[in-house]
Amino acid sequence: MSLLLVVGVSIALGAGPEPGVMTEVCPFDDTHVSRPAFTVGEQTGLRLDLRAVGRFLHPDPLARCPRCQYVPGLRIPDGELARVRALLSSKEYQEEARRPSNHALRALIMAALKPDPGEVAFEWLRASWELEGTAGWKHATERALAEFIRLTSATMSPDDESALERRRTAQLMQVELLRRLARFPEARAALDKWADQPEMQRGAYVTLLATERSLIEKKQDAPQPFPSMPPLDPRSDDPALIAATQLKGFAAFDADFIIERADFGAFNMLPDSLHLALLARKPRALDSIWWWNFTKDGVPQFDWTQLLAAHARAEQLVGRNKWLAEWKAAGPSRRVELQLAGLESNTEMDFAFFVQPAWEHAGFTKPPVVELLLREKDSNPCANVFLDAGGGGIVTMVFECTPNHWVTAKSFSYHPKDNPPTYLRVSADGRWEMREMGAKR
Ligand SMILES: [Zn+2]
């Protein structure tokens, strides 16, 4: 049986500002629950509390089952259904259900499912956005704060860089939420406590902490915009960053992109590289890049001129696949990210085994020319896309994306040994089809 409880999805595409409707089925009493799927909009900014600003329904709209108050849309493993059923009749859940926030209910469901650290905190944060300007705001914000404080005191391996980064985010959110709750002395104490860490004295953290400090001194508790990204610090002593800025063509690159991260090493099973996470300074079709600039004896083999040319070629193809822009416009902080190993946009080491059978089954005869990851803010990459030079391509993985566009409506992961192997084929004009291999074409 499928773990995915989202069964019926109908989304109106290309219908102007009218939001599509998504119907989900309550797993406890089979009630059909409908909600707006998405509105196509544009993100114009971000606030210090990470809420996106723009023409969106944000946070994503949820709906609850009118019979049991369950909020559909999460993947609940079969073995966990009983636990969630018990939660629905608990006093805590029923009390929360008297308030209007569906995200708050989802936070309680998530907590029962024991998710990755941080997910519950972010769900309470969404509830606080949902309840802004109402009496319930303070309650949701305090719940989010408590979860972020819990996350800052969790033990984490010093080698798990993404966990450590999550913890730094939680530390900053602790400061921000204390400020929003007008608990200024506590906010200042938390700021002083976290500002000492060496990582907090670099890059964007410096600007963020200075912004928070100044707001706290002014006893300002209103929502505030996220400070704009600081330029690269030329005095940085980070060897990877220094190597990156010394590659040929840096000035041209620097005019349009920033370096978010630079590291030497072997990542994702690819050869030794200067690995760079790059982000466009302004919104554009192909707005971010993960680049493995292979090294030989520690020296990067490619330069920025070559990187910009590879990006320009790929962006042209991304632009022809308008469905990618639609997916991006259906939610805040979304990125379409080019995957570049050397100068080739294919980072799958065992392509012949893991991708090629689906690619050929989809009817493509030449190898893909562009590999993309679709990312949502504060989450792992949620979809993997390969594009053909002639237009169209395949999606080999969709995992825990916001299911508000047809690309991300159904979670799956192509594997050649699955029964049956499943992938999504898409044409450049956005016609799409889930395909099962072994089935008749
Ligand atoms: Zn129900």
Strands annotated E in 144-244: none
Q: pLDDT tens, 26-63?
A: 999 999 998 877 666 677 778 999 888 877 767 888 99
pTM, rounded to two decimals: 0.70
- Identify whether the C-beta of residue 9 lies closer than 8 Å to the C-beta of residue 36: no
Closest CA to 179 of 212, 202, 135: 212
CA of 268 to the centre of ligand 1 (A): 42
Q: Which amino acid is at 61?
A: P
At 38 the pLDDT is 64
DSSP output for 107-125: HHHHHHT--STTHHHHHHH
What does the alpha-carbon distance between residue 371 and residue 383 come to, in Å, rounded to a whole number? 11
- Name residues whose C-beta falls within 8 Å of residue 201's C-beta, 6 or more positions apart in sequence: 195
At 307 the pLDDT is 98
CA of 123 to the centre of ligand 1 (A): 20
With b for 16 or more beta-carbon neighbours within 10 A and e for fewer, the 315-324 pattern comes to bebbeebebb
CA of 27 to the centre of ligand 1 (A): 7
CA of 115 to the centre of ligand 1 (A): 22
CA of 7 to the centre of ligand 1 (A): 15
CA of 383 to the centre of ligand 1 (A): 30
CA of 84 to the centre of ligand 1 (A): 11
What does the alpha-carbon distance between residue 305 and residue 302 come to, in Å, rounded to a whole number? 8
Q: pLDDT tens, 207-234?
A: 889 999 999 999 999 999 888 755 555 5
CA of 93 to the centre of ligand 1 (A): 14
CA of 427 to the centre of ligand 1 (A): 37
CA of 101 to the centre of ligand 1 (A): 16
Q: Which of the 8 DSSP states describes residue 55?
A: S
Q: Which amino acid is at 135?
A: A
Tens digit of pLDDT per residue, the chain (441 long)? 222 222 222 333 333 334 577 888 999 999 999 887 766 667 777 899 988 887 776 788 899 999 999 999 888 888 899 999 999 999 999 999 999 999 999 999 999 997 777 889 999 999 999 999 999 999 999 999 999 999 998 887 777 777 888 889 999 999 999 999 999 999 999 999 999 888 888 777 888 899 999 999 999 999 998 887 555 555 567 788 889 999 999 999 998 998 888 888 888 788 899 999 999 988 899 999 999 999 999 999 999 999 999 999 999 999 999 999 999 988 888 999 999 999 999 998 889 999 999 999 999 999 999 999 999 865 568 899 999 999 899 999 998 788 888 888 888 889 988 889 999 999 988 899 999 998 544
Neighbours of 363 (CB within 10 A): 11
At 410 the pLDDT is 83
Residues in the chain: 441
CA of 28 to the centre of ligand 1 (A): 5
Domain ranges of the chain: 21-217, 239-436
CA of 256 to the centre of ligand 1 (A): 49
CA of 88 to the centre of ligand 1 (A): 9
- Name residues whose C-beta falls within 8 Å of residue 430's C-beta, 6 or more positions apart in sequence: 13, 321, 322, 323, 326
CA of 10 to the centre of ligand 1 (A): 20
CA of 319 to the centre of ligand 1 (A): 42
Q: Which two tokens stand for residue 60?
A: 């994503």
Closest CA to 41 of 256, 244, 274, 325: 325
What does the alpha-carbon distance between residue 71 and residue 62 come to, in Å, rounded to a whole number? 7
At 232 the pLDDT is 56
CA of 31 to the centre of ligand 1 (A): 6
Paired sense of beta strands 32-36 and 273-280, if any: unpaired
What does the alpha-carbon distance between residue 80 and residue 87 come to, in Å, rounded to a whole number? 11
CA of 38 to the centre of ligand 1 (A): 23
CA of 9 to the centre of ligand 1 (A): 18
CA of 248 to the centre of ligand 1 (A): 60
Place of tokens 């089925």: 25
- The environment of the single-atom ion ligand 1, i.e. residues with CB closer than 5 A, is 26, 28-29, 31, 65, 67-68, 70
CA of 64 to the centre of ligand 1 (A): 8
CA of 409 to the centre of ligand 1 (A): 21
